[in-house]
Amino acid sequence: MTEQEQGAAPGVLSELDDAGVLRLTLNRPEQRNALTGELAEELRARIAEAQPSAARVVVVTGTGSAFCAGADLGALTAGARSAADRRQILAEYYRAFLDLRDLPVPTIAAVNGPAIGAGFNLALACDLRILAESSRLAAPFLRLGIHPGGGCSWMLTRTCGPAAAREILFLGEPVDSHRALQLGLAAQVVPDHELAARAHEMALRIATLPSRVVRDLKRSLALAEDGATFDSVLAVESLAQAESMGSEDAQEGWAAFRERRPPRFRDR
């Protein structure tokens, strides 16, 4: 019998509002939203549902006092007979946050508490991170005797630079919210009680923009981040800009700018 048949609360809450903001909430507060294999599967299912839906922005957060307290990778791979078996299990597990990273729409992590290990990866997989003041980030993999995974070293190096990435990964010590802001790991740090509202406000500001242009921009940024040459990114930008300049939304944007009023885009 499934959890739903037994009447248990879902492990991931999914709520799409009229503005196109999809809120995904890890809902295992008694486990501090630890990303078990089952919860990772459920998160992947909710992310898959977001792709063909009307979602324009995705916000990821957690219930209770933690964003995501990581996972017991030892328990996750306990039945594996070899390193190859463990690698396959981990590859499937990683997809929970890599699927989020691959979404064509912008994603925001509203980090309401500790984001540890896999939880840190989940936050890093988002385009933007807004942190509650009491939150902290940590990647204590080496302290557990294991190598970081899930693209952690890649994402950290590109987000906060090689020196900070080395410090965070070699020492494994928690990074508080204000240092995270200094390192570029957070876009904003806000009082705990304001986190949900401020994350939603940020999402709404993006959701009101022309969706095609927003998606094209995310693609251009991903190419640059992944190491594409300047000429390659320039070619993608020039094509996307030329196409967008001929749109009704571009006409409305210029008109609103001249008239000093908020634009009323149709592509919403």
Considering the domain architecture, whether residues 162 and 177 belong to the same structural domain is answered as: yes
Residue percentage of the chain with pLDDT more than 70: 97
* 141 lies in the same domain as 217: no
pLDDT tens-digit profile of 141-156? Answer: 999 999 999 999 999 9
Give yes or no for residue 5 having a pLDDT over 70. no
**Position of tokens 């981040």?**
225
Residue 31 falls inside a structural domain: yes
Strand partners of residue 60: 24, 109
- Pair 199, 219 in one domain: no
Residue 265 is assigned to a structural domain of this protein: no
> How confident is the model over 160-214, as pLDDT tens digits?
999 999 999 999 999 999 999 999 999 999 999 999 999 999 999 999 999 999 9
Q: For residues 220 and 95, state if they share a domain.
A: no
**Separation of alpha carbons 10 and 18, rounded Å:** 22
Same domain, 215 and 190: no
CA-closest candidate to residue 23, choices 64, 68, 54, 61: 61
Tell me if 268 is assigned to some domain: no
Residue 111 shares a structural domain with residue 156:
yes
pLDDT tens across 100-130, in order?
A: 999 999 999 999 999 999 999 999 999 999 9
What pLDDT shows up at residue 7?
59
User: Within this chain, do residues 171 and 218 fall inside the same structural domain, yes or no?
Assistant: no
Total domain count for the chain?
A: 2
DSSP per position, 114-147: -EETHHHHHHHTSSEEEEETT-EEE--TGGGT--
| 8 Å CB contact between 135 and 99 | no
Q: In the prediction, which pLDDT does 1 show?
A: 36
pLDDT at 128 (0 to 100): 98
Q: Is 30 a domain residue?
A: yes
* Statement to judge: residues 79 and 93 lie in one domain: yes
| Separation of alpha carbons 115 and 70, rounded Å | 7
CA atoms of 221 and 250, how far apart (whole Å): 21
User: In terms of domains, do 107 and 132 share one?
Assistant: yes
Q: Quick check: 6 pLDDT over 70? A: no
Q: pTM to 2 decimals?
A: 0.93
In this structure, are residues 169 and 148 in contact, taking their beta carbons and an 8 Å threshold?
Answer: yes
- Domain carrying residue 97: 3-207
pLDDT score of 71: 86
Q: What is the CATH number of the domain that holds 184?
A: 3.90.226.10
Residues 242 and 172 in one domain: no
State whether 149 and 233 are in the same domain: no
Instruction: Mark whether 124 and 200 lie in a shared domain.
Output: yes
Residue 266 lies in a domain: no
Residue 75 pLDDT class (50, 70, 90 cuts) = confident
